[in-house]
Chains A and B, each alone.
Chain A
Amino acid sequence: MTALSNDSSGRSSQSTAPFRMVERNALAWRHNWWVIASGAFEPLFYLLGLGFGMGALVGAIDVNGVEMPYKNFVAPGLMASAAMNGAVFDTTMNFWFKLKQERTFDAILNTPLTLTDIVVGELGWSVARGAIYALFFLIAMAALGLTTSWWVLLTLPAAILIAWMFGSLGIYFTTYMRTWTDFDFLPLILMPLFLASTTFFTLQTYPTWARPIVQATPLYQGAALLRNLSFGTPGWNDVGHVVYMVVLSALCTRAASKRLGPLLQS
């Protein structure tokens, strides 16, 4: 019997296997690249419309005892939601499409790729999409004169963390979806999250009883971190934000992988 051992001639090493999923998505999206591009503009429209437009009416606001223009306050929150949206698109409906509708993953599992490769690769792709949206937004912020501190550079790794958190949450959530119609719940979750996680109003605007609820949401954690970094006022509470996001991301990634096992390999 010849060549029974792991034939590795001309084959890539296993560690790069998840990157095949990134390639697959890039190839698939190549025909619709403008859909991805258009997603990057959405938060920018909010920044121009609400930050600059309505901001002119609002004037300066008080953020943790510091006076600043409304547009400066809104920008980091929108950057956080840009990272969230970028990560959520490809881990919810698009993921379900490949999981249940087209069963793309079933075909891929017949190749050397493993379930972990697929999860890591899909997450990697979504995080990249979220990070690109965040980077695009950051460049726009700088161009519009909304960056004031060198700390702002750290918003990019922070945005990657936000994207990972929402990407893994998205996949976990998607493993529970039975049909397309189940996804009608998604805007019901994302929209309030987008509006209420101190994206547009400061925490002090909320009644005292509501504040802990707002603070418990994942987007608040991300927005608060980006805000402190972009104002150049990082503190110990930011360590808390990072820990919150790392723990939630790790838990969701693990739970999602566990749930996908029986769905794909029974």
Chain B
Amino acid sequence: MTTALSAVDLRKSFGDFEAVKGISFEVPTGQTFSILGPNGAGKSSTMKMVTTVSPVTSGSLTVLGMDPTTNGRAIRARLGVVPQEDILDSEMTVRENLVMYSRYFGISWADARTKADELLKFVQLADRAGDKVEPLSGGMKRRLTIARALVNDPSLVLLDEPTTGLDPQARHLLWDRLYQLKEQGVSLLLTTHYMDEAEQLADRLIIMDNGTISAEGSPTQLIAEHCSKEVVELRFDNRTSPELQSVAEQSGLRIENLPDRTLVYADDGDAALSHLAEQGVHPTGTLIRRATLEDVFLALTGRSLNE
């Protein structure tokens, strides 16, 4: 298996502040790799180093087999970048945005036009080709940004929080396009703070918090490692239940108190629930569901992912 991207003890500092505190990970070619974490975890700083725009403070980084410090231009020629804010060129039309972006890659005008039309179809924006960028909806701008990242047929596409702020419909359309890219063998690196997005798209992921990696693996692996199979959500009239704490301690159940509910981790939710009832714990509302990455994050950091 070849490697699209590898980082070893990668660090990034801004003055006294260390945004990325020595992380190591590898993205195999053709895979979708996700960096999951709350705002301020160091996701974007990592992304900017990979795009070669932000210099590496220390550690080593290899992108498509090259060193960003010395081969920035050559690396960027084979990268597709979807920045957190779209930063489309507001002085041009939708189609001109793609044509001009191709030109930055040294693609001929004729090829650039053909590619632009092809990509506009791919992201379902062909009917808006001649429009200015500004009146487009958030989802459309995002799709245009993705089309723009593909003008050079990149080997590795970087997506920084691609669906933040989009409605569910727009998110699904975007995910669908990302699946298609994956099928074409493009490696994807995406950051997100939505655990469902990481579960949907990622082959492997790292969970970042405070500039460090707190867990790494495939979504199912991480859930199996750090969480029970099921999670029981309990709600009480007066927010918490004093009995629950002691019952859980006696019977060795792991619980997590959230502001609005309490989570009980158990491989068999029904059994746990009846056990609690026998011990005199009577919640006003219960819900048994399978464990998600959100629970993994909670278990690892003791707080919710979306803050």
Contact in complex: A110, B76 (CB < 8 Å): yes
A-B contact count (CB 8 A): 89
- Most chain A CB within 10 A, of B54, B71, B88, B91, is at B91
Q: Would you call B284 an interface residue if the criterion is a C-beta within 8 Å of the partner chain's C-beta atoms?
A: no
Choose one: A10, A24, A103; the contact of B100 (CB below 8 Å): A24
Contact in complex: B53, A110 (CB < 8 Å): yes
Q: Would you call A7 an interface residue if the criterion is a C-beta within 8 Å of the partner chain's C-beta atoms?
A: yes
Q: Which residues of A contact B253 (CB under 8 A)?
A: none
Q: Which residues of B contact A14 (CB under 8 A)?
A: 73
Choose one: A7, A17, A106, A266; the contact of B87 (CB below 8 Å): A106
Q: Which residues of A contact B148 (CB under 8 A)?
A: 107
Contact in complex: B103, A20 (CB < 8 Å): yes
A78 vs B292: C-alpha distance when bound (angstroms): 71
Q: Of A54-62, A111-119, A215-223, which binds chain B?
A: A111-119
Choose one: B14, B51, B96; the contact of A266 (CB below 8 Å): B14
Choose one: A1, A264, A265; the contact of B65 (CB below 8 Å): A1
Closest beta carbon of chain B to A21's beta carbon, Å = 9
Q: In the complex, which residues 67-105 of chain B have their Cβ closer than 8 Å to any Cβ of chain A?
A: 71-74, 76-79, 81, 83, 85, 87-92, 96, 99-101, 103-105
Q: Which residues of B contact A63 (CB under 8 A)?
A: none
Choose one: B65, B73, B104, B152; the contact of A20 (CB below 8 Å): B104
Q: Would you call A6 an interface residue if the criterion is a C-beta within 8 Å of the partner chain's C-beta atoms?
A: yes
Secondary structure class of chain A's binding surface, majority of residues: loop
Q: 1/0 per residue A118-143: CB within 8 Å of B?
A: 00000000000000000000000000
Contact in complex: A7, B92 (CB < 8 Å): no
Choose one: B53, B66, B92, B103; the contact of A28 (CB below 8 Å): B92
Contact in complex: A27, B92 (CB < 8 Å): yes
Contact in complex: A102, B87 (CB < 8 Å): yes
Contact in complex: A23, B100 (CB < 8 Å): yes
Q: How large is the interface on A (under 10, 10 to 19, 20 to 34, 35 or more residues)?
A: 20 to 34
Closest beta carbon of chain B to A16's beta carbon, Å = 8
Q: Would you call B125 an interface residue if the criterion is a C-beta within 8 Å of the partner chain's C-beta atoms?
A: no
- Most chain B CB within 10 A, of A20, A108, A111, is at A111
Please name the residue on chain A nearest to B85 by beta carbon: A103
Contact in complex: A114, B73 (CB < 8 Å): yes
A27 vs B77: C-alpha distance when bound (angstroms): 22
Closest beta carbon of chain A to B144's beta carbon, Å = 12
Contact in complex: B77, A108 (CB < 8 Å): no
Q: Would you call B107 an interface residue if the criterion is a C-beta within 8 Å of the partner chain's C-beta atoms?
A: yes
Contact in complex: B105, A11 (CB < 8 Å): yes
Contact in complex: A107, B100 (CB < 8 Å): no
Contact in complex: A112, B73 (CB < 8 Å): yes
Q: Would you call B2 an interface residue if the criterion is a C-beta within 8 Å of the partner chain's C-beta atoms?
A: yes
A32 vs B152: C-alpha distance when bound (angstroms): 29
Q: Would you call A4 an interface residue if the criterion is a C-beta within 8 Å of the partner chain's C-beta atoms?
A: yes
Contact in complex: B106, A11 (CB < 8 Å): yes
What are the 7 A-B residue pairs with the smallest beta carbon separation, nearest first?
A12-B106, A28-B91, A111-B104, A11-B106, A110-B81, A107-B87, A4-B65
Residues on A facing B (Cβ under 8 Å): 1, 4-7, 10-12, 14, 16-17, 20, 23-24, 27-29, 31, 102-104, 106-114, 264-266
